[in-house]
Amino acid sequence: MQIVHVEDINPRKAVHVEIPNELSDNAKSALKCIGISKLYSHQAESIMASLSGKNVVVATMTSSGKSLCYNLPVLEALSQNLLSCALYLFPTKALAQDQLKALLTIIEAFGASINAGIYDGDTSQKDRIWLRDNARLLITNPDMLHMSILPSHRQFSRILLNLRYVVVDEAHAYKGAFGCHTALILRRLRRLCSHVYGSDPSFVFSTATSANPQEHCMELANLSTLELIKNDGSPSSRKHFVLWNPTPNTRTVLNKIQSNMDDTSNTSHKNPSPISEVSYLFAEMVQHGLRCITFCKSRKLCELVLSYTREILEETAPHLVNSICAYRAGYVAQDRRRIESDFFGGKLCGIAATNALELGIDVGHIDVTLHLGFPGSIASLWQQAGRSGRREKPSLAVYVAFEGPLDQYFMKFPQKLFNSPIECCHIDAENQQVLEQHLVCAALEHPVSLVYDEKYFGCGLSIAVLTLKSRGYLSSDPSRESSAKLWRYIGHEKMPSRAISIRAIDTVKYKVIDMQKDEVLEEIEESKAFFQVYEGAVYLHQGHNYLVKELNISDKIAFCQKADLKYYTKTRDYTDIHVVGGNIVYIWKQLAYPSKGSKSQLLRTTAQVHVCKVTTTWFGFHRIWRGSSKIFDTVELHLPKYSYESQAVWIQVPQSVKALVEKQFSFRSGLHAASHALLHVVPIFLRCNLSDLAPECPNPHDARYFPERILLYDQHPGGTGVSKQIKPYFTELLTAALELLTSCLCPGDTGCPNCIQNLSCHEYNELIHKDAAIMIMKGVLDAEKSYFQNLPDPSESPTVEVNQNIDN
Ligand X SMILES: Nc1ncnc2c1ncn2[C@@H]1O[C@H](COP(=O)(O)OP(=O)(O)OP(=O)(O)O)[C@@H](O)[C@H]1O
Q: Report the phi/psi class of residue 376: left, alpha or beta, with left for phi > 0 and alpha for psi in -120 to 50.
A: left
Q: Is 67 in the site for ligand X (CB under 6 A)?
A: yes
Give SS3 for 296: strand
14 vs 806 by CB, closer to ligand X: 14
229 vs 434 by CB, closer to ligand X: 229
Q: Is 40 in the site for ligand X (CB under 6 A)?
A: yes
Q: Is 313 in the site for ligand X (CB under 6 A)?
A: no
39 vs 612 by CB, closer to ligand X: 39
Closest separation in Å from C-beta 17 to ligand X? 9
User: Stretches 5-13, 38-46, 288-296, 750-758: which one binds ligand X (CB under 6 A)?
Assistant: 38-46
Separation between Cα atoms, residue 9 and residue 20, nearest integer Å: 32
* Cα dihedral across residues 32, 34, 37, 43: positive or negative: negative
Q: Which long-range contacts (CB under 8 A, 24 or more apart) does 296-301 make?
A: 296/352, 296/353, 296/354, 296/372, 296/373, 297/354, 297/372, 297/373, 297/375, 297/376, 298/354, 299/328, 299/329, 299/330, 299/354, 299/532, 300/532, 300/540, 300/568, 301/275, 301/372, 301/373
Q: Is 63 in the site for ligand X (CB under 6 A)?
A: yes
Closest separation in Å from C-beta 281 to ligand X? 24
Residue type, 701: H
Closest separation in Å from C-beta 366 to ligand X? 11
Q: Is 62 in the site for ligand X (CB under 6 A)?
A: yes
Q: Is 213 in the site for ligand X (CB under 6 A)?
A: no
Q: Are 17 and 44 in contact (CB under 8 A)?
A: yes
Q: Is 68 in the site for ligand X (CB under 6 A)?
A: yes
User: Stretches 45-53, 64-72, 638-646, 705-713: which one binds ligand X (CB under 6 A)?
Assistant: 64-72
Q: Where are the beta strands (DSSP E) in 360-402?
A: 368-372, 395-400
Residue 550, strand partner residues: 559
By rule CB under 6 A, what string of x and - marks binding of each residue 331-360 to ligand X?
A: -----------------------------x
Q: Is 667 in the site for ligand X (CB under 6 A)?
A: no
Give SS3 for 140: strand
Closest separation in Å from C-beta 282 to ligand X? 22
For ligand X, which residue has the nearest CB? 360
Q: Which of 39, 339, 349, 772 binds ligand X (CB under 6 A)?
A: 39
63 vs 141 by CB, closer to ligand X: 63
Q: How many residues bind ligand X (CB under 6 A)?
A: 14
335 vs 392 by CB, closer to ligand X: 392
47 vs 312 by CB, closer to ligand X: 47
User: Stretches 36-44, 374-382, 412-420, 640-648: which one binds ligand X (CB under 6 A)?
Assistant: 36-44
Closest separation in Å from C-beta 71 to ligand X? 8
Q: Which of 42, 66, 146, 623 binds ligand X (CB under 6 A)?
A: 66
Separation between Cα atoms, residue 758 and residue 138, nearest integer Å: 42
Q: Report the phi/psi class of residue 648: left, alpha or beta, with left for phi > 0 and alpha for psi in -120 to 50.
A: beta
Separation between Cα atoms, residue 712 and residue 778, nearest integer Å: 18
Site for ligand X in 357-396 (CB under 6 A): 360, 362
* Cα dihedral across residues 619, 716, 216, 68: positive or negative: negative
User: Stretches 56-64, 468-476, 503-511, 750-758: which one binds ligand X (CB under 6 A)?
Assistant: 56-64
Q: Is 65 in the site for ligand X (CB under 6 A)?
A: yes
Site for ligand X in 189-208 (CB under 6 A): 208
Three-point CA angle 748, 751, 756, nearest 5° = 160
Closest separation in Å from C-beta 253 to ligand X? 34
Closest separation in Å from C-beta 63 to ligand X? 4
To which H or E segment does residue 673 belong? helix 667-685
68 vs 138 by CB, closer to ligand X: 68
Residue 244 DSSP label: E
Closest separation in Å from C-beta 80 to ligand X? 22
Taking residue 214's Cβ as centre, other Cβ atoms within 10 Å add up to 18
User: Stretches 32-40, 107-115, 253-261, 446-454: which one binds ligand X (CB under 6 A)?
Assistant: 32-40
Closest separation in Å from C-beta 65 to ligand X? 3
DSSP alpha helix (H) spans, 333-374: 333-344
Q: Are 375 and 384 in contact (CB under 8 A)?
A: yes
What are the φ and ψ backbone dihedral angles of 243, each rounded to 5 degrees?
-100, 125
Closest separation in Å from C-beta 166 to ligand X? 17
360 vs 375 by CB, closer to ligand X: 360
Q: Is 307 in the site for ligand X (CB under 6 A)?
A: no
Q: Is 330 in the site for ligand X (CB under 6 A)?
A: no
Closest separation in Å from C-beta 612 to ligand X? 39
What are the DSSP calls for 25-87, one per residue? Answer: HHHHHHHHHTT--SEEHHHHHHHHHHHTT--EEEE--TTSSHHHHHHHHHHHHHHHSTT-EEE
87 vs 756 by CB, closer to ligand X: 87
Closest separation in Å from C-beta 755 to ligand X? 34
Q: Are 551 and 529 in contact (CB under 8 A)?
A: no
Closest separation in Å from C-beta 425 to ligand X? 16
Residue 192, strand partner residues: none
To which H or E segment does residue 294 belong? strand 292-296
CA 526 to each of CA 176, 300, 531, 647: distance values in angstroms, whole numbers, following the listed order: 21, 16, 10, 20
Residues contributing to the site for ligand X (CB under 6 A): 36, 39-40, 43, 62-68, 208, 360, 362
